[in-house]
Amino acid sequence: MNRILAGIIFFLFISTGYISFLVHERQQELQKLTHYAAAWSAAQMVSEYYRFESVLGLYTSDETITLDDVRMRLDIMLSQSDLMKEGDLRNYIESNKAYHALALQLEKKLEYLDIHLDKMNRSELQAYLKTMQTLDAPLSRLSSGALDKDINSINDANHKIKTLYYIYSATSVLLIIMSAILGLLIFYQNRNIQKAHLQVKNLAEELQESKEKLQVQNTKLEYDVYHDSLTEMNNRHFFWGNLNETIENAVKSNNTVTVMLFDLDRFKVVNDTYGHDVGDMLLRQISQRLISMGLTSDTLYRLGGDEFAFLSSGLTESSAVSLAQNICDAINQPYTIYNTIINITTSVGIVISDTERRSDYLYKFADLALYEAKNEGAGKIKVFRQWMLDKLQESRTLEHDMALALANKEFVVYYQPIVDSFTQEIYSYEALIRWIHPLKGILSPDTFIPVAEKTGMINEMGKSMLEMACREAVSWVIPAKISVNVSPVQLSSKAFAGIVVSILNETGLSAERLELEVTESSLFTESKTPMNTLNRLRTLGVKISIDDFGTGYSSLSRLSRLAFDKIKIDKSFVNSVSTQEDALNIIRLITGMAKSLNMKTVAEGVETQEQLESLQALGCDFIQGYLFGKPQPYIDGKIRNG
């Protein structure tokens, strides 16, 4: 487009120049027209000559004509003959030799008369007239020749002017066309510019709109970064930012910093039992309660899952604990979700520090306190103490020692008999792990199993236990069954069934002699692996017992769906069976339920005859406890009887 415009403008420039040139040319030609006066001058001169001849002729015959009249004509003629020496006539005469000679003759004739006119008489003049008349014809030819030449010149000029006129007209038409095109182009260009302007305007508006949208999105994103989408509470990210800020402010004002961590007890059970949407609603209701408590919103956070946190500064230990208690009380009130009443408690870990300024350490300490609170059971509040850290460090050393112990074969199996409650014959032995520590002596499983489970070392430890127990059981004289404890961690591994099968094959123990003791918590998982594993092993003939029954949260419906062989009633119930009515009723309930589900019951921790009798009366099938024998090692082909 720009090229076309430039081309047109260039053309217009050239055309205008050319038109100026044409105008100049035309002017030249027109000037020629006015200049060509030779014919006129010649005709004038010739006619004056004839008039002079006629006056001269009359003078010779007519007395009335005076010499003065002749002199006047002669003077006119002389001045006419002067015209031959100048202008176009002179050019014309000089262009032809004959005309030139004629002009000289004419001049001579006139000069002669000029000198002699007054002295000449009429007859002399008559004779002289005759000589003059010899010039008439040549003069007349000169005049008509000049006329011809002039006419030719005029025709030429006319022709040229005509041509110029055509060129001029054509150029003008072209100019008009080009101007029109230029106008159109400019109009078109203008429209394009207007369009572009409109587009730019729209674009700017769109840009503004997207900028505003982006701003809204940014604000939302910023909000999302710091808030939990489920409960709208401040999230973990916010917590860490504020923890650092709280520490900074506390340093300036020389204040204590308090971090409280709340962890709901049994939340997983609620989720598993009622479904995740109920779990989500519960979390939302909890957060609403926390917010409505009127604590500054900045100080409460949902860290994720069922974990909440509270941050503050300047609190004393007692005020922190009582605040934590208030929060717990609020959380512990029942919830109604979909017409179901749900009760939940929370455990709390608190750290109050005026010396520790590292945020990650403060969090860790509160977490350790929470861990201890959880360990003590549901709904407990614990404040961080130095021993908790020592214990952690100890467990780290324990981890290290345990790895060495596995390699050094420091773990051994102790066996405790399980007897028929009526015949009191040995039905089976439970394999219980012991750590023969080179420095600390014999360590009970409670001191290291939790750490082994946490680190995953339990898989290897459990495998070696199972292998030792099976191998030894094969060599027993009495083919009693062997009960081996299986941790939830082991059961969640897909490889576990394969491990059991290969140990049975390697040791040669028949599957029917092996019983596996699993806890209820093993089965509280979304994964199908534990159940699939147990079912596979059962089809091989391996028996499955539920250990520590009554301490977990098995629902009867869940229990009936799972195919177990035995229920081991936890020793906490057995312990008080002869003293507490409640315990007795619970055991009655369990044995009754087991019978209806076609399962056997084992009572653990039986220490007295009284307990034995109560259990017999309740129809318990098997008994395990110090009354019949403590866990003992297998030495020289025998289990020492404790």
Choose from ligand C2E, Ca ion, none: what does 323 bind? Cβ within 5-8 Å by kind: none
In the bound complex, what is the minimum distance in angstroms from residue 517's beta carbon to ligand C2E?
6
Q: Which residue of 282, 290, 388, 449 would you call a contact of ligand C2E, by CB under 6 A?
A: 449
Between residues 248 and 376, which has the closer beta carbon with respect to ligand C2E? 376
Choose from Ca ion, ligand C2E, none: what does 567 bind? Cβ within 5-8 Å by kind: none
In the bound complex, what is the minimum distance in angstroms from residue 518's beta carbon to Ca ion?
9
Between residues 247 and 503, which has the closer beta carbon with respect to ligand C2E? 503
The bridge status of strand 411-420 relative to strand 632-635 is antiparallel
Between residues 88 and 570, which has the closer beta carbon with respect to Ca ion? 570
**Using the rule CB under 6 A, is 487 a contact of ligand C2E?**
yes
Buried b (16+ CB within 10 A) or exposed e, 624-639: bbebbbebbebeeeeb
**Using the rule CB under 6 A, is 247 a contact of ligand C2E?**
no
In the bound complex, what is the minimum distance in angstroms from residue 418's beta carbon to ligand C2E?
10
Choose from Ca ion, ligand C2E, none: what does 462 bind? Cβ within 5-8 Å by kind: ligand C2E
Q: What one-character-per-residue DSSP string does 537-594 give?
A: HHHHT-EEEEEEETSS---HHHHHHS--SEEEE-HHHHHTTTT-HHHHHHHHHHHHHH
Which structure tokens are listed for 509? 């123990």
Applying CB under 6 A, the span of 134-142, 418-426, 472-480, 621-629 interacting with ligand C2E comes to 621-629
Between residues 80 and 487, which has the closer beta carbon with respect to Ca ion? 487
The bridge status of strand 426-437 relative to strand 441-443 is antiparallel
**Using the rule CB under 6 A, is 465 a contact of ligand C2E?**
yes
Choose from Ca ion, ligand C2E, none: what does 446 bind? Cβ within 5-8 Å by kind: ligand C2E
Q: Which residue of 285, 416, 428, 522 would you call a contact of ligand C2E, by CB under 6 A?
A: 416
Q: Which residue is nearest to Ca ion (CB)?
A: 517
Between residues 242 and 519, which has the closer beta carbon with respect to Ca ion? 519
Distance CA 629, CA 642 (A): 5
In the bound complex, what is the minimum distance in angstroms from residue 639's beta carbon to ligand C2E?
14
Choose from ligand C2E, Ca ion, none: what does 460 bind? Cβ within 5-8 Å by kind: none
Distance CA 51, CA 136 (A): 11
Q: What one-character-per-residue DSSP string does 541-552 give?
A: T-EEEEEEETSS
Applying CB under 6 A, the span of 264-272, 302-310, 368-376, 619-627 interacting with ligand C2E comes to 619-627
Which structure tokens are listed for 37? 């006066």
Choose from Ca ion, ligand C2E, none: what does 246 bind? Cβ within 5-8 Å by kind: none
**Using the rule CB under 6 A, is 548 a contact of ligand C2E?**
yes
Look at residue 450 and give its three-state secondary structure. Answer: helix
Choose from ligand C2E, Ca ion, none: what does 256 bind? Cβ within 5-8 Å by kind: none
Which structure tokens are listed for 292? 């409505």
In the bound complex, what is the minimum distance in angstroms from residue 374's beta carbon to ligand C2E?
18
Q: What one-character-per-residue DSSP string does 466-532 give?
A: HHHHHHHHHT-SS--EEEEEE-HHHHTSTTHHHHHHHHHHHHT--GGGEEEEEEGGGG-SS-SHHHH
| Sequence-distant contacts of 612-618: CB under 8 A, at least 24 apart | 612/421, 614/577, 614/578, 614/584, 614/587, 615/421, 615/574, 615/577, 615/587, 616/421, 616/422, 618/577, 618/584, 618/587, 618/588, 618/591
Which string of x and - marks every residue 490-529 that binds ligand C2E (by CB under 6 A)?
---------------------------x------------
Contact yes or no for 84/45 (Cβ under 8 A): yes
Distance CA 87, CA 39 (A): 12
Q: Please list every residue from 2 through 61 that binds ligand C2E, using CB under 6 A.
A: none
Residues contributing to the site for Ca ion (CB under 5 A): 485, 517, 547-548, 604
Which structure tokens are listed for 106? 């004419």
In 3D space, the residue among 520, 553, 492, 528 whose CA is nearest the CA of residue 266 turns out to be 553
In the bound complex, what is the minimum distance in angstroms from residue 325's beta carbon to Ca ion?
33
Which structure tokens are listed for 269? 């059970």
Distance CA 80, CA 44 (A): 8
Distance CA 531, CA 496 (A): 12
Distance CA 238, CA 341 (A): 32
In the bound complex, what is the minimum distance in angstroms from residue 549's beta carbon to Ca ion?
8
The bridge status of strand 632-635 relative to strand 638-639 is antiparallel
Choose from ligand C2E, Ca ion, none: what does 394 bind? Cβ within 5-8 Å by kind: none
Distance CA 124, CA 131 (A): 11
Choose from ligand C2E, Ca ion, none: what does 362 bind? Cβ within 5-8 Å by kind: none
Between residues 260 and 486, which has the closer beta carbon with respect to ligand C2E? 486
E strands, 171-306, where?
A: 257-265, 300-304
**Using the rule CB under 6 A, is 228 a contact of ligand C2E?**
no
Between residues 324 and 461, which has the closer beta carbon with respect to ligand C2E? 461
Distances (CA, A) of 266 to 187, 368, 379, 521: 80, 19, 10, 11
**Using the rule CB under 6 A, is 467 a contact of ligand C2E?**
no
Which string of x and - marks every residue 418-447 that binds ligand C2E (by CB under 6 A)?
-------------xxx----------xxx-
Look at residue 449 and give its three-state secondary structure. Answer: helix
Partners of 301 in the β-ladder: 234, 309
Between residues 283 and 433, which has the closer beta carbon with respect to ligand C2E? 433
Between residues 392 and 426, which has the closer beta carbon with respect to Ca ion? 426
The number of residues that bind ligand C2E (CB under 6 A) is: 25
Between residues 573 and 634, which has the closer beta carbon with respect to Ca ion? 573
Q: Which residue of 88, 367, 515, 547 would you call a contact of ligand C2E, by CB under 6 A?
A: 547
**Using the rule CB under 6 A, is 417 a contact of ligand C2E?**
no
Between residues 60 and 632, which has the closer beta carbon with respect to ligand C2E? 632
Distance CA 441, CA 443 (A): 6
Which structure tokens are listed for 642? 């404790």
In the bound complex, what is the minimum distance in angstroms from residue 517's beta carbon to Ca ion?
4
Distance CA 450, CA 12 (A): 100
In the bound complex, what is the minimum distance in angstroms from residue 237's beta carbon to Ca ion?
43
Buried b (16+ CB within 10 A) or exposed e, 221-234: eeeeebbbeebebb
In the bound complex, what is the minimum distance in angstroms from residue 441's beta carbon to ligand C2E?
14
Between residues 106 and 418, which has the closer beta carbon with respect to Ca ion? 418
| Contact positions vs ligand C2E (CB under 6 A) | 416, 431-433, 444-446, 449, 462, 465, 485-487, 517, 547-548, 571, 604-607, 624-626, 631
